Structure formats: C-alpha cells, structure tokens
Amino acid sequence: MSEGKVHYEKDGRIARVTFDQQPALNALNMEMWGQLGEISRSVATDSSVRCVIFRGAGGKAFISGTDITGFLSFESGRDGVAYEAKMDEYIGTVEAIPQPTLAVVEGWAVGGGVAISCACDFRIATPDAKFGSPLGRTIGNCLSGRGYARLVGHVGIAQAKRMLLAGEMITAPEMMNLGLLYSVVEREELDAAVDAFADKLASQAPLTVKASKEAMRRLNYRAMPDIEDLIEQVYGSNDFRTAVRNFKEKKKTEWTGA
C-alpha cells in the first residue's frame, strides 16, 4: 500500500482531520492509525477548538478499511488480541475527544471507517455513501468487545447483524431512515451543510458537551464482557490465515470453520 497520511488543520474554532490514502480509497495503514491517535489526543487538549470534523480525501470514500498486510505475519490468536487492543486504543482517542465530532461520509465507510464514524457524535453523508463491516465475507476476523459495543450502541443489534452476519452494506438513505445520520446531503451542497452544522456545534457550552459525551461513553461501555477467548479463536484459525492470503491475491475463500 502506498504511503498515506492523516492531515490536521484548524480554522478558528473548527478543527479538520482528513484521511488521505486515495489510491486505496483511504484505507488506513498502521502509521495512519498512529497519526489519528496523536491528532485526537492533541485536539482534545486544545480548548480553542470547539468542533472536530473527520473526512476522507478525494470524495470517493471516508475510509474503506484497514491495510491487512500486517496480518500476514500473525503467528497465533494472541496477535489478534493485541491488534484489537491497539485498534481500541486508537478509536478510543476519537471517542475521548471532549468537543463535538462530525464524520463527513462520501462513498465507502467500511470496517475501520464504520468504527470511526460511530466514534464520532454525528454523521453527515452523501446519498451514495455505504456503511458496513463485512468481515465474514472478506478476511474472516472479528471485533473487540468494545468494537461490538460501539457498533451495536450506534446502529442497533438488528443493523449490526446485517453488517456482521450477512455482510451487507447499508446505504445512506437507509441509515437516515433508521435515525443513524444527522442528514443526507447532495455533494454540491455538502460543504455548506457541514460548515453550518459545525458552527452550530461549536456554539454550544463546552463543559455541558464534555460532561454529556463522557457520561454517554461510560454508559455505553459499562460492564464490558471479556471476549479475548473469542478473538483468540478467530485470529488463530486456519480460516483467517487462508482468507488473508486469498484477499491479497483476490481469490475467494471456502470457509471450513476451523
């Protein structure tokens, strides 16, 4: 995968974070995940920032997933447990931002893209946007406990099952009808709509926003179960190892359940 970057800029009270890996539809490599963590931790301590906008470069995708090259070196299920813990850390930095956050989704929001969009407080999408986490028909891995809690907490268990068990992509109009998007906006009107909503978010009392966000975050993750045994079983399977190789070679995987 070519080198990508997560860009950060501040325009008055508004901060903008842009995922830029356009040849790969903004799929995130590990360096980009690290950059996201650093930016999120930095913006969280900047009291002059009152709203943070996350967006993919190029207009074709928000984030199309994660670079899976590193999975080729996994030797056991414990590697998967460590990987999911690292993903929790990076996505957790987005969730921990005390300012209101907005994901602007054009095109694909897949895997890590769905996770980051759900880690944001609001989502505005174009009509062609699609959301999903089709792990069961791509590389056969799984999420962490927090990953499942985040997805179910935002889209509900019925839609989470569509994404995870049926491998379906959910369209922006469907997401809007389900109350999961703030709005669906045509591309020519998108920038104006995003700026107007960001200004509205930036005008709210920052301590109220901070307390409300943190309270809801704690509620969503209360009494989290330990599912490391499930993660280790999935990432340690022959199905997973085979599917990663096949995905890289654009081959179909015949699942064995072992």
User: For residue 95, is pLDDT > 90?
Assistant: yes
**Are 245 and 72 a contacting pair, CB within 8 Å?**
yes
**Are 19 and 63 a contacting pair, CB within 8 Å?**
yes
**CA 74 to CA 167: how far, in whole Å?**
24
**CA 14 to CA 8: how far, in whole Å?**
11
**CA 116 to CA 140: how far, in whole Å?**
20
Give me the DSSP letters along 146-171: HHHHHHHHHH-HHHHHHHHTS-PPEE
**Are 26 and 65 a contacting pair, CB within 8 Å?**
no
Please tell me the predicted confidence (pLDDT) of residue 223: 85
Pick among 3.90.226.10, 3.40.50.620, 3.60.9.10, 3.30.499.10: CATH of 5-188? 3.90.226.10
C-alpha gyration radius of the chain: 18
Percent of the chain exceeding pLDDT 70 equals 99
**Are 172 and 128 a contacting pair, CB within 8 Å?**
yes
Percent of the chain exceeding pLDDT 90 equals 95
Among 120, 132, 121, 126, residue whose Cα is nearest residue 58 = 126
Please tell me the predicted confidence (pLDDT) of residue 188: 97
**Are 108 and 60 a contacting pair, CB within 8 Å?**
yes
Where are the domains positioned within the chain? 5-188
Of 3 and 60, the structure prediction assigns the larger pLDDT to: 60
**Are 102 and 197 a contacting pair, CB within 8 Å?**
yes
Please tell me the predicted confidence (pLDDT) of residue 1: 47
User: For residue 191, is pLDDT > 70?
Assistant: yes
**What mean pLDDT comes out for the span 42-70?**
96
pLDDT band of 2, cuts 50, 70, 90: low
Residues belonging to the chain: 258
**CA 45 to CA 30: how far, in whole Å?**
24
Mean pLDDT of the chain: 96
Kind plus residue range of the DSSP H or E element containing 200: helix 187-202
